[in-house]
Amino acid sequence: MQPEKIRDTSYTQNRELSWLKFDLRVLEEAEDRSVPLLERLKFVSIFTSNLDEFFMVRVGSLFDMSVMSPKTIDNKSGLTPMGQLERIYAEIPGLVARRDTIYAQVMAELAEKGVRDLQISELEPHEKKYVNQYYKAKVLPVLSPQIVDERHPFPHLINKQLYIASNLHGKRERAPLGLIPLPDVLPRFIQMPEDPCRYIRLETLLLSRADSLYGSFKPSESCVLCVTRNADISFDDDKFDDIDDDYRTKVSKLLKKRSQLGIMRLELEGDPSQEFVRLLCSRIKVENHQVYTCHAPLCLKYVYPLVSALPDEVSAPMSFVPYNPRHPASIDPKGSMIEQIKARDRLLFFPYDSVDPFLRLLSEAAEDPDVVSIRITIYRLASSSKIAHILCRAAENGKEVTALMELRARFDEANNISWSRLLEDSGCRVIYGIEDFKCHSKLCLITMRHGDALSYITQVGTGNYNEKTNKMYTDLTYMTARREIGEDATAFFQNMLVSNLRGEYSTLLVSPEGIKRRLLELMDEQIALGQNGYICIKANSMTEREVIDKLSECSRAGVEVQLILRGICCMRPGIPGKTENIHVTSIVGRYLEHARIYCFGRGDDAKLFISSADLMTRNLVRRVEVACPIYSPELRKCLLWILEKHLADNVKASSLLADGTYKRKSGEPPFSSQDYFMEHPLPLDQFVPAPKGSPASEAKPEKHEGFWSRLFGFLKK
């Protein structure tokens, strides 16, 4: 057995602690007074839901590791799973306290504007009457209060379900515990009929009625509680050894297990006594360090429905000015999308550009008699997906439609199961990816036949086929008629159908085999240039140790490295002799930065790719991802323009410091890249248009794999 390699951790940091710093940057947006007030409240909600998922997934995973592999060492921090958990549990209370303070500030400012979260004592007489009637008519009939004592066992607490817990007293010597689950069928808040800006939360109302729900028992004190359970379900095949059902059924069964996994956190809203907290800990079976007492609501998902329910004249001045994605001026809204892409490569930049050109492309392909097939990878779809309905229509029109559907997209499994059934019912061929490797790539291939010849339209994206998130996430969609890319996309889908992860490609980089290897080679090319070398990578996160070490090697060679990483960064820049030439920027703002761009070199010599893959071990080693080179001179300049504007941001950007903390950038004049992109479209008209004729004539593809050998091998089969 090989001894574990000793890693240098002097310029790296723990993934989980880096993620907590990211969520802190989200929370700082709620603190920023330049952000409209209701948007600040939304950022508090986003912070809270992010932290919920962190406990469900990351803390849950570490807990499992601490039991199964307690001596495993994190290669970025040298910590064991338990050591990481100890650091996490020590870090969280400060974040929660800061969240509570910011929430109180935001709510106080909203109260000044007339938007008030009321206590029972603050209701006017006519409002009390209305709330009493509402309670009797709609709330009381669906309540299920229960007593926990020697004869009544402690119930299973559902993950993130709110409960009213009461310490009861009566004639018995040993007082029982009372629990009231908040009914899911009821809205989380009740607006006052004469002033909808005044509302009371459902849990506030139930707290005031707890003393009337337990018969002869009366609460000595009550609080709101919820538990966060481990939701890190493993999809390892050994879980299915004794199950005969198809893959979709297996995933459905695993979803039911999610609510029954171990408790990672107990949250209590209010000021419960230490005695009551000890009672709850003993009954729920959690340790003291897993208990968090909060003054903000435990679940802030009601914030978005609340903002939507406020009168427009109240909410509009306290919200972002609505932004309608523009239709790209370079695309004729009435012309054939297929013909326009044949003439020139196209690029869409969401959410600033409308998704409509891509939807038109799919719709046209669904009806075009020359189109013989549409193949697409699907990771997440909108709940009311236009894209899925177009694919169904294409299949009903006789097109061969193949959807590589990833059922293991965390927290979207149920939605994807529903869509997979609808697609199959419409005649689409649905396949479920490769065992042990999630398919996270964003690839769509339209194949056309003209006589005996085939031609292709290929779309490669950095984000999901989801019209809802297209309006909230920054992403890129590239559409091309280049034959070499279409042939690679054809090979990709053929490889996925036979579970071949080792396919060879002429232009596309495909993980788990191709992306990391090529990225390391491209870094070596820049190392050879020394101080003339340049790397700029925009992604969500970076955790892959081999990539981090190679970037450190780049820095030691004098290469300038600019990383634009919104979330996790396990490298610490600015460490003398190791990372002093590396600069890390994080942008957190109105839109979630999601596009991935890889740039190696400067100007015309730069090698540019867009990708679905972050610089994370899971993306580069354990998932099927695609990175696509961009050859079009005008689109290459667009990508460089995007990177340049991000690096110039001094409003929503923060710099990662050598100690692992972040510092907000500043400067004059203030410049927000997201605000700039809303006002300035991709400057395609500034660039020399691509020459007419074959799209592939603009630039020669980078031949890093043997395409023709692969093709002849396939034909022989």
**CA gap 567, 58 in Å, rounded:** 14
Phi/psi of residue 706, nearest 5 degrees: -85, 95
Residue 3's pLDDT band (cuts 50, 70, 90): very low
Distances (CA, A) of 532 to 274, 526, 537, 559: 63, 8, 17, 7
DSSP H helical ranges for 569-688: 617-621, 633-648, 673-679
160: left (phi > 0), else alpha (psi -120 to 50), else beta?
A: left
User: If you average pLDDT over residues 586-591, what whole number do you get?
Assistant: 98
Q: Give the per-residue pLDDT at 413.
A: 65
User: If you average pLDDT over residues 69-76, what whole number do you get?
Assistant: 90
Whether residue 118 has pLDDT greater than 90: yes
Sign of CA dihedral 389, 391, 392, 397: positive
Q: How many CB atoms lie within 10 A of CB 253?
A: 13
Is 499 within 8 Å of 475 (Cβ atoms)? no
Phi/psi of residue 392, nearest 5 degrees: -60, -45
Q: What is the 3-state secondary structure (H, E, C) of 338-367?
A: HHHHHHCCEEEEECCECCHHHHHHHHHHHH
Helix 386-396 with 356-367: angle, nearest 10 deg? 10
Which has more confidence, 715 or 612?
A: 612
Q: Give the per-residue pLDDT at 233.
A: 52
Phi/psi of residue 452, nearest 5 degrees: -95, 0
Q: Give the per-residue pLDDT at 261.
A: 63
Kindly report the pTM of this predicted structure.
Answer: 0.89
Q: Residue 266 is encoded by which pair of tokens?
A: 């107990």
User: If you average pLDDT over residues 354-372, what whole number do you get?
Assistant: 97
**CA gap 49, 46 in Å, rounded:** 5
Write the pLDDT tens digit of every residue in 212-269.
999 888 999 999 999 999 875 544 433 333 333 454 555 555 455 444 468 999 999 9
Over the Cα atoms of the chain, what is R_g? 28
Residue 703's pLDDT band (cuts 50, 70, 90): very low
Q: How many CB atoms lie within 10 A of CB 369?
A: 10
User: Which letter does DSSP use for residue 287 in this model?
Assistant: -
Q: Residue 562 is encoded by which pair of tokens?
A: 């600019």
Write the pLDDT tens digit of every residue in 386-421.
998 999 999 999 999 999 887 665 555 666 677 778
Catalytic residues: 440
User: If you average pLDDT over residues 355-379, what whole number do you get?
Assistant: 95
Is 367 within 8 Å of 712 (Cβ atoms)? no
The least confident of 168-172, 221-225, 558-562 is 168-172
Mean pLDDT value across the chain: 89
Cis before 325? omega within 30: no
Q: Give the per-residue pLDDT at 120.
A: 96
Cis before 351? omega within 30: yes
Write the pLDDT tens digit of every residue in 633-679.
999 999 999 999 999 999 999 999 999 999 999 999 999 999 999 99
Whether residue 359 has pLDDT greater than 60: yes
Q: Shortest CA distance to 231 belongs to which of 196, 266, 257, 203? A: 257
Write the pLDDT tens digit of every residue in 432-475.
777 778 888 999 999 999 998 999 999 999 998 888 889 999 99
Q: Give the per-residue pLDDT at 165.
A: 96
